[in-house]
Chains A and B, each alone.
Chain A
Amino acid sequence: MSETRQECRFCAGGCGEQAKYAELDTVIESYKDREGCLIMVLHAAQEIFGYLPIELQTYIADKLMIPLSEVYGVVSFYSFFSMKECGKHTLRVCLGTACYVRGGMRLIEHIKEKLNVEVGGTTADKTFTFEVARCIGACGLAPAIMIDDEVYKHVTPKYLDEILAGY
């Protein structure tokens, strides 16, 4: 069985990665003797790390002593598990026709500049994952955006700043 990962892949320490692995170890320890615990461990790991990159899957496979292919098979089967890092909130700008002509693109440009993030990306502080939506059915409220399940209507760049400040 492998040792607990001692340091972060990216920095010399201080990012909390080590603490996260320690937390995961505790979870794995508590489940270890229970048959079929992989999904519960993956839930906990995603809760701790936010997503399940392949390095993390390798780590879990080692700890549970099961093949990585089995872990990967499960992670890729269930829609709840993500292999891509996501922000705390999902910010979607509608680019349906109505929103497009009413300034949806302006909002996109504004977000790119203000949050320094590309479409499909996640902000550096991991607050938002930024996506473009096809019509969200709020044409009468155009341009509209959605943050998680909340719809905001008649959004202007100025109003957008106010909305984002609330998160």
Chain B
Amino acid sequence: MVKKISSLADLELIAKEYGERMSAYEHQILVCAGAGCISCGCGAVRDTVRSTLSELGLDNKAIVKETGCMGTCAVGPVMLLLPERIFYVGLTPENIPSLLKAHFVDGKVVEERTFFDPIQKKYIPGMDDIPFYKEQVRIVLRNCGIVEYGQIESYIADGGGYRAAHKALTSMTPGEVVGEVKASGLRGRGGGGFPTGQKWEAGLNAAGDRKYLVCNADEGDPGAFMDRSVIEGDPHNVIEGMIIGGYAIGATRGFVYIRAEYPIAVERLSAAIAEARDYGLLGDNLFGTDFSFDLEIRIGAGAFVCGEETALMASIEGQRGEPRQKPPFPFQAGLFGKPTIINNVETYANIPSIIDGGAAKFASIGTEKAKGTKVFALAGNIITSGIVEVPIGTKMEDIIYKIGGGILNGKKFKAAQVGGPSGGCITSDNVDVPMDYETLIARSAMMGSGGLIVMDEDTCMVDTARFFLDFVQDESCGKCTACRLGTKRMLEILQRITRGKGRMDDLDTLMELAETVRDSAMCGLGQTSPNPVLSTLRFFREEYEAHVIDKKCPAGVCVHLLSYSINPEKCKGCSACARACPVEAIVGELKKPYVIDRTICVKCGNCMTVCKFGAIVKE
């Protein structure tokens, strides 16, 4: 049984004791255990690090800590060595023994296992010199990759944790907390961008014997994994944010709604909640005050629509996750009919820093209308995919090129999808715009929850729109006609176009349907579902026309519109393609140009992959 924390002195004592325990070691080895690194086998890496250390007799000199996501998912598993802050990437159980021996015994930095910067084309051993990190400003992720996610002492010591909750509960009134959050200019990070302070004020003023606080961790957009990284890497930060939120609005119970697809997040957050309860940071009379607050996790069951707040509440209540009309808004009648405030994971993760460092400090970052930072999940055709946090208003080109290292395989940038299936695409003409709520909406995109999928010149925008529509159609809950049938008809048209059966009037119908669904669907998900269509139609209409009129897919993606042939001038007659063809569609004589029989060809692209002379033509 641990001692309950009831004062600042208790927190300081834990921090001091933890600090002393750590300072007994000369080195700390932080091994990333974010979801990306886990799927690359970081567990085996961590075990090998431990066993190698004992083989080298370094058990007493170095300690291994497991942290959350460090961000550079593309080069995982990764580890950071302290105090020298050398960052090693691409680790395997095989390369660990020689690496640790060289580093600790021979005192040499193993350069070829450090981060390779694709822009400067050189290895950069020091984490702080790597542009990927240098260009970021970390508030939400300030502890990710630094504290041990499974150790509350680490959060209290290394992350300065629970000081903000202590400050709010013991020296501020709920009204003052709301005032501070309002002054910070924080806006909801789940997509809508509604001012958090204003929402909390409504919660505080709502009359009711019982109020609820809810954390939306149902991160369903394909290509988004920010909230997951925050919960898995720094769960106590979210818990602390919720304690402060509960105090501010007068709620004694909170729910965290996590999607079932994130079992690691559920496991780590459950453990953190239990830990916080043991230490008296959740439960009755926190910090000796008369404020009590506790949290419960509710797990989703694979419905995208539950990310919408009214559907989410229905799901917490154990019902079908169908949205309902607003008003009444959740702050009026939410969960179980009681006043409820719902915020996203990232929003809560900002709160401890705002209370701790003050609203003015937070408001000094960002733009005039949107303060602070935004976490983006960089994915797609980008070199350093991963999790990044930048001040709101950072230019997209800086995120893609300075932080992300540019486009994979030397290809050209075509567009970036921002905001998942509810968002839109930003084209190369707009890549210098600042990423903030209003600017993105003016460009037919939206900040959304922060998924940023980079697409290169080989991406077909019609096919991309079809992909997202396929997703929302599949996930439409079916309650309102506009979304249920509108998305279905739109998907049918897009399928027709990508199969070369499109008609010119399809484009007008598509536009009309998109506008109707946008204006008449009941919930946010339905209303934003046509966005990928609207934005690709606006910026890439010529690509749609190429599919419809010329029956060609300029990017060479839509299989039905492709044909393969062999350029007789380049073909050396080596027969590699004929041997690789699964359907024997390629015939010819050795040392003479081969030909493809298009009536047999299944367009699998094998021939193109194996041809060493670039003789296969796809058009």
Contact = CB atoms under 8 A, between A and B. Distances in A.
A139 interface: yes
B317 A78 contact: no
A63 B604 CA distance: 54
A98 B301 contact: no
Interface in A58-82: 70, 73-74, 77-81
Interface string A78-121: 11110000000000000001110110000000000000000000
A32 to B, nearest CB: 12
A38 B315 CA distance: 9
Interface stretch (B64-72, B198-206, B318-326, B340-348): B318-326
B298 to A, nearest CB: 7
User: Which applies to chain A's interface (DSSP): helix, strand, loop or mixed?
Assistant: helix
Given A98-B583, A140-B604, A36 B316 contact: yes
B289 interface: no
Given A43-B260, A97-B604, A98-B606, A77 B303 contact: yes
B97 to A, nearest CB: 27
Contacts of B317: 35-36
A142 interface: yes
A98 B582 contact: yes
Given A35-B317, A36-B336, A101-B583, A80 B302 contact: yes
11 contacts: A34-B296, A36-B298, A36-B316, A39-B300, A39-B315, A40-B318, A78-B303, A80-B301, A97-B583, A97-B604, A140-B604
B582 A74 contact: no
Interface in A17-63: 34-40, 42-43
A52 B316 CA distance: 20
B602 interface: yes
Nearest to A77: B320
B299 A97 contact: no
Output the residue of A36, A37, A73, A140 with the most chain B CB within 10 A.
A36
A38 B605 contact: no
B603 to A, nearest CB: 9
User: Which applies to chain B's interface (DSSP): helix, strand, loop or mixed?
Assistant: loop
A142 B582 contact: yes
A38 B336 CA distance: 14
Contact of A39 (B296, B301, B477, B609): B301
Contact of B318 (A36, A102, A139): A36
A138 B246 CA distance: 50
Contacts of A80: 260, 300-302
Interface in B568-618: 580, 582-583, 602, 604-606, 609
Contacts of A34: 296
Contact of A43 (B301, B315, B336, B602): B301
B364 to A, nearest CB: 42
Interface of A: 34-40, 42-43, 70, 73-74, 77-81, 97-99, 101-102, 139-140, 142
A1 B301 CA distance: 27
Contact of B301 (A37, A79, A97, A142): A79
Contacts of B302: 78-80
B583 A39 contact: no
Contacts of A99: 582
A98 B602 contact: yes
A35 B296 CA distance: 12
Contacts of B318: 35-40, 74
Contact of A140 (B296, B315, B322, B606): B606
Contacts of A78: 300-303, 320-321
A99 B583 CA distance: 10
A142 B606 CA distance: 10
A99 B320 CA distance: 40
A78 to B, nearest CB: 3
Interface residues of B, number: 26
A102 B298 CA distance: 47
A139 B582 contact: yes
Given A39-B300, A74-B318, 8 more contacts: A34-B296, A40-B299, A43-B299, A78-B300, A79-B303, A80-B302, A97-B583, A98-B582
Nearest to A98: B582
A92 B349 CA distance: 41
A36 B321 CA distance: 12
A39 B317 CA distance: 8
A101 B581 CA distance: 10
Given A73-B320, A78-B321, A142-B582, A98 B299 contact: no
A127 to B, nearest CB: 21
A43 B258 CA distance: 13
Contacts of B477: 77
A136 B265 CA distance: 29
A20 to B, nearest CB: 20
A74 B604 contact: no
B320 A139 contact: no
B472 to A, nearest CB: 14
A70 B477 CA distance: 16
B604 A39 contact: no
A74 B260 contact: no
Contacts of A98: 582-583, 602, 604, 606
A73 B315 CA distance: 12
Contacts of A101: 582-583
B605 A74 contact: no
Nearest to B322: A77
Given A97-B582, A102-B582, A42 B301 contact: yes
Contacts of B604: 97-98, 139-140
B84 to A, nearest CB: 37
A162 to B, nearest CB: 22
Nearest to A142: B582
A77 B320 CA distance: 6
Interface string B290-329: 0000001011111100000000000111111110000000
A35 B337 CA distance: 12
Nearest to A79: B302
A151 to B, nearest CB: 14
Given A78-B301, A101-B582, A35 B336 contact: yes
Nearest to A75: B301
Output the residue of B260, B477, B604, B605 with the most chain A CB within 10 A.
B604
Contacts of B602: 97-98, 139
A90 B580 CA distance: 29
A139 B606 CA distance: 7
Contacts of B296: 34
A133 to B, nearest CB: 15
Contacts of A102: 582
A38 B318 CA distance: 5
Nearest to B335: A36
A116 B322 CA distance: 41
Contacts of B580: 140
Contacts of A35: 317-318, 336
A32 B462 CA distance: 50
